[in-house]
Amino acid sequence: MANAKMKPKFKAVTPKLKLFRANDPQLSVFMWGINYTITGLEHVKVPVMLMPDDFKAFSKVKVDNHMFNKDIMPSHYKVKEYCPLVFRNLRERFDIDDHDYMNSLTNKQPVEIDSPGRSGARMFMSHDKKYFIKSLVTEEVEQMHHILKQYHQYIVEYIVEVHAHTLLPHYLGMYRITVNDVEHYLIIMRNVFSPRLTIHKKYDLKGSTVDRHASDKEKSKDLPTYKDNDFIRDEAVLFLGKDTKDKLMTTITKDAEFLASLHLMDYSLIVGIHDCDKAEMESAEMVQRAKEGEEDSNEEENGYDDDQNGMGGVPTPPDSPQLIQAPFNGDIDNTIERFAMKCSDDCPRREIYFLAMIDILTKYGVKKRTAQAAKTMKHGANAEISTVKPEQYARRFLDFVSKCIE
């Protein structure tokens, strides 16, 4: 009897789902952590009111990873979320849905961006440009814990109860990520600028003039962050009109007084300027380039090759989402542009301003007192140095901002 020929056996292979894919293990763990913590909060009942212990609470998880996305995720990592119920409450106050928050931070890898400051902090932006992720040092984490209760109370009183506005950062979550036994502290904030409107010029203003100009290295960037002396040199003005200016200065004054009461200083007013006319020109140019690309593509299909004439390859198709932008109709979307303000009719150009206070976690302690003494000796008692007492800092800051606005 002839031997029956054995049929080869095939094992079905299921494609692996690559979750939390990032080129940095820290980011992969961060994305996993956001997904884990937000999903876990779904099963935690929303309390009627926050208790004192909620401002000290935390949740943490340690993972010894052997199977799940092992080619992407580290073998061992930890995720710690600080004050989860408090930050969930803040997200609710700021009209941010937890699922949208999670999807923005986990569907695609956050993109690292240049940080103009001297602190060396790493900065990331969510793929949809809604949120910033900033690294913190331990002193800033301690300071955030120290002010969180007062910050939450301030947000509740001025946003919810009296329907006022604040230019303070919208803090949405704080985490500790441990990868390879190295701890990374991260805080999530709402993006001050618009996810859809281009920023054409940017200033960081403190009200100080000593060493307050953009460096040559900073100026070489695509979007430099200019400073106080640059603003003065440019003879820049924020055209808002009297009524809008009065309302804005009332808001900034309340915010600055709140920070001074917590002995905080060295914060800035970040100013982003969207030039509507320039944006329309840029959009028209992109549309034209897209049309030319479509024509070039059709010529190649008919046997013509632009490379023979040194014209290069085929541009991005005209329906590419990154190429075509909807023309700005002058309306501000308050759901995503919380810090936006239209210029007044007196403005020589059509502009949208984005204004917010940033870097508010510096306390006037021993280090800052020492720095103040050193700078005073170097530059003189009358020099406008940035390191001064919180009350003096607030007064000078408000005076400078008021002069910037017409």
Instruction: Give the active site residues.
Output: 134, 266
- Dist. CA 107–CA 214, nearest whole Å: 35
- Dist. CA 115–CA 55, nearest whole Å: 29
Helix (H) or strand (E) holding 132: strand 131-136
Cβ-contact 270, 353 below 8 angstroms: no
Helix (H) or strand (E) holding 136: strand 131-136
Cβ-contact 252, 237 below 8 angstroms: no
**Of 191, 228, 194, 199, residue with least CA distance to 384:** 228
Handedness of CA 49, 51, 52, 56 (dihedral sign): negative
Give the number of other CB atoms < 10 A from CB of residue 68. Answer: 12
Cα–Cα distances (Å) from 61 to 18, 34, 243, 283, in that order, read 21, 12, 51, 47
